[in-house]
Chain A
Amino acid sequence: MQGSTRDRKPNTCDYAMIRFSQVTVNYGYVPGALKDINLQLHKGDFTLLLGPTGSGKSTLLRLIYMDILPSAGLVTVDRWNSARISPRQINLLRRNIGVVFQDFRLIENMTVFDNVALPLVIEGYRRKYIRQVTQALLDEVNMLAAADQPASTLSLGEKQRVAIARAMAKDPLIVIADEPTGNLDREASQNVLNLLERFNRHGTSILMATHDYELIKETPYRRIYMENGEIRQPDSSINVGKERIIMMNRDV
């Protein structure tokens, strides 16, 4: 991707980059959006977060980029923790995390290039460096030809590729993907997964929430199952069955 210095060797570190300790989240009068979550994510991991709609996946992801803070317990992300983080530090933390959403969240009236460059502009990098990195990333996601097009003119699959390129722009500690294939057809979904896998091979940690079982059933990655705001421990013998149950919940 953007030169060898940005590449990392995967799975070389045991230290927990993200740690949830007895985390509970209550939304206003609705208690138990998350209940007593304990979780560790390691550097270089590709982790899948599975569960039906409303199981708490998005809430868990929002805790990582501190869009919300836990009602109880502690979330630690690299050198930041939820108990002692200022708004300014939250901005810094977010500059080290790439986020990909189901609805892409591109700035529609900006060009593809400007969307991908935005995290670098926010950080205040020089123009030449921004151009270099952005072009390399657009090349990587096969969107260089559309660099000058407004984001609004892209297909859904293209938008998600651009969103992934933007998430990767700052060479983040981790990319959080919240249902990144939710709006895409089979081929575009597979492309998105391939892209995330490719970035993971370069050393970027990925945490992907999905309920697209078909897409991930053959993948070897760690799976975290969520239901009703809790993490369910998978039993290896019923592993596939458990995933099917979760998918059925969602389908109902």
Chain B
Amino acid sequence: MKLRFVLRQTLNNLWRERTPVTASVLTIGIALVILISLFEVSISLYRNLNDLKQNMVIEVYLEASRTENDAAGISAQLSDYGTIERIRVISKEAAAEIFEKEFGENIYDILKENPLPVMIEVRLQSEYNHPDYLALFKKQVEALPGVDEVHYRHVLVEELESLTQAVLISGLAVLIVLVFAMNLLIRNTIKLSVYARRDQIAIMKILGAGNLFIRLPYILEGAFEGLFGGMMAAAGLILAHKFIADSFEAIRFSLSVYKMLWIVTISVGILIGFFVSAAAVGHFVQKIYAKK
């Protein structure tokens, strides 16, 4: 009976303050979409960055006159550094095949000869895959006799790293503003509900109602706002995924991930609504007592 009463009060409050409630729900929804997207994008960027780092290939090009035997000698020297994960010599013929695979044309048809040099492909152990060591490694290897040039995609790695950071920082900044707005809007609806019912609260106090009984309808009001906001955000995110997934194979989710997304988004929404309103209702109810 007590719970029925509390729930009825909650639903009455939600209906009575429907305009500010809608504003809160929308803000919670938008904040959650940004929060969860930010989380997903960061995870995906970090994963790609990590993959890229793990699989980063350093290409050591030998001078045109050098043969595979020279390459084997240089490979042995590089292996002695103790920082190499894997090393592979790519002959002139193998390089021509790769060229054909990547560009679709036979190099002999174009140039009548194969100008591609012998190359050594090196993968460093993961702990050495950082810009400082890569620069040092490049310098050392380029000084070896017979080595023409050393290439690695450091620019891409650095760009991706700074992009990830920029996304995170700007996302967090937007999120902080939204969390602030969300807090303000939820507090405002709770304030309106409490003030609209201040006489009722005073009457219930005289009848001996405890704090929880008086406050619970307002706390649940916040939790419901969070629930609606969470549902809105989850629906938006899932629709966005389905829509974008048609274009990008990489972000197509399995059913269980969708289920998780629902649960996490809605739970976060409910928790936010619950705690913000719980903090607010105590404050405003106390204010009413103080004014009495």
Q: Which residues of A contact B (CB under 8 A)?
A: 65, 67, 87-88, 90-96, 99, 105-107, 109, 118-119, 121-127, 130, 166
Q: Residues of B contacting A96 with CB < 8 Å?
A: 208
Chain A proximity mask over B192-231: 1 for CB below 8 Å, otherwise 0: 0000000110111111111101000000000000000000
Bound CA–CA A11/B5 (angstroms): 38
Q: How many whole Å from A90's CB to the nearest CB in chain B? A: 8
Q: How many angstroms from the CA of A87 to the CA of B211 in the assembled complex?
A: 10
Which residues in B have some Cβ–Cβ distance to A below 8 Å?
1-2, 5, 12, 199-200, 202-211, 213
Using known A-B contacts A124-B2, A125-B1, determine if residue A67 contacts B209 with beta carbons closer than 8 Å: no
In the assembled complex, which residues on chain B have CB atoms less than 8 Å from the CB atom of A127?
A: 1
Closest-by-CB residue of A relative to B16 is A109
Nearest chain-B residue to A130 (Cβ)? B1
Measured between beta carbons, the chain B residues less than 8 angstroms from A95 are 207-208
> What residues on B are CB-neighbors of A125 within 8 Å?
1
Q: Which residues of A contact B202 (CB under 8 A)?
A: 105
Min C-beta distance of A78 to chain B, whole Å: 14
Q: Is the CB of A99 within 8 A of B208?
A: no
A166, closest chain B residue (CB): B207
Residues of A within 8 A of B211 (CB): 87
9 closest residue pairs by CB, A with B: A94-B208, A95-B208, A91-B208, A122-B209, A127-B1, A119-B207, A121-B5, A107-B200, A105-B203
Residues of chain A within 8 A of B203, CB atoms compared? 105-107
Residues of B near A92 (CB, < 8 A) are 208
B206 and A67 within 8 A (CB)? yes
Please determine whether A122 and B207 come into contact, CB atoms closer than 8 angstroms.
yes
Residues of A within 8 A of B210 (CB): 88, 91, 122
For B12, B206, B210, B211, the residue with the greatest tally of chain A CB atoms inside 10 Å of its CB is B206
> Across the two chains, which residue of chain B brings its CB closest to A103?
B199
Closest CB of chain B to A209's CB: distance in Å? 16
CA distance A96 to B207 in the complex (A): 9
Check B1–A105 contact: CB distance below 8 A. Answer: no
Report A159 CB to chain B, min CB distance, Å.
13
Select from chain B the residue with minimum beta-carbon distance to A98: B207
Chain B nearest CB from A79 CB (Å) reads 15
**B207 contact set on A, CB distance < 8 A:** 94-95, 118-119, 122, 166
Which residues of chain A have C-beta atoms less than 8 A from B213's C-beta? 122
User: Contact check: which of B1, B5, B205, B209 meets A126 at CB < 8 Å?
Assistant: B1
Some 24 contacts from A to B, beta carbons below 8 A apart, are A65-B206, A87-B211, A88-B210, A91-B210, A94-B205, A94-B207, A94-B208, A95-B208, A105-B206, A107-B199, A107-B200, A109-B12, A119-B208, A121-B5, A122-B204, A122-B207, A122-B208, A122-B209, A122-B210, A122-B213, A124-B2, A125-B1, A126-B1, A166-B207
Q: In the assembled complex, how far is the CB of residue B12 from the closest CB belonging to chain A, in whole angstroms?
A: 8
Judge whether B1 and A91 touch: CB under 8 Å: no
- Give B3 Cβ to nearest chain A Cβ, in Å: 10
CB neighbours (8 Å) of B12 from chain A are 109
Known A-B contacts A124-B2, A127-B1, A130-B1; the reply to A105 vs B208 at CB < 8 A is no
CA distance A238 to B133 in the complex (A): 109
Measured CB to CB, the closest approach of chain B to A127, in angstroms, equals 5
Question: Residue of A at shortest CB range from B197?
Answer: A107
Residues on B with C-beta less than 8 A from A91 are 208-210
Measured between alpha carbons, how far is A65 from B199 in the docked complex, in Å? 18
Taking the closest CB of chain A, its distance from the CB of B43, in whole angstroms, is 47
Could you tell me the distance in whole angstroms from the C-beta of B202 to the nearest C-beta in chain A? 8
A238 to chain B: closest CB distance in Å?
37
Q: Which residue of A lies closest to B12 (CB)?
A: A109
Q: How far is the CB of B212 from chain A (nearest CB, A)?
A: 11
Query: Which residue among B1, B12, B213 has the maximum number of chain A CB atoms within 10 Å of its CB?
Result: B1
Given A92-B208, A122-B210, A122-B213, 13 other A-B residues pairs in contact with their CB atoms under 8 A: A65-B206, A91-B209, A91-B210, A94-B206, A96-B208, A106-B203, A118-B204, A119-B208, A121-B5, A122-B209, A125-B1, A126-B1, A166-B207
CB distance from B288 to the nearest CB of A (A): 14
A198 to chain B, nearest CB (A): 22
The answer to whether A93 touches B208, judged by C-beta atoms less than 8 angstroms apart, is: yes
- Whose C-beta in chain B lies nearest to the C-beta of A96? B208
Q: Which residues of A contact B209 (CB under 8 A)?
A: 91, 122
Q: Which residues of A contact B1 (CB under 8 A)?
A: 121, 124-127, 130
Q: Which residues of the partner chain A approach B200 to less than 8 Å between Cβ atoms? A: 107
Bound complex: CA of A148 vs CA of B207, how far in Å? 21
A99 to B200, CA, bound (A): 15
Contacts of B204 in A (CB 8 A): 118, 122
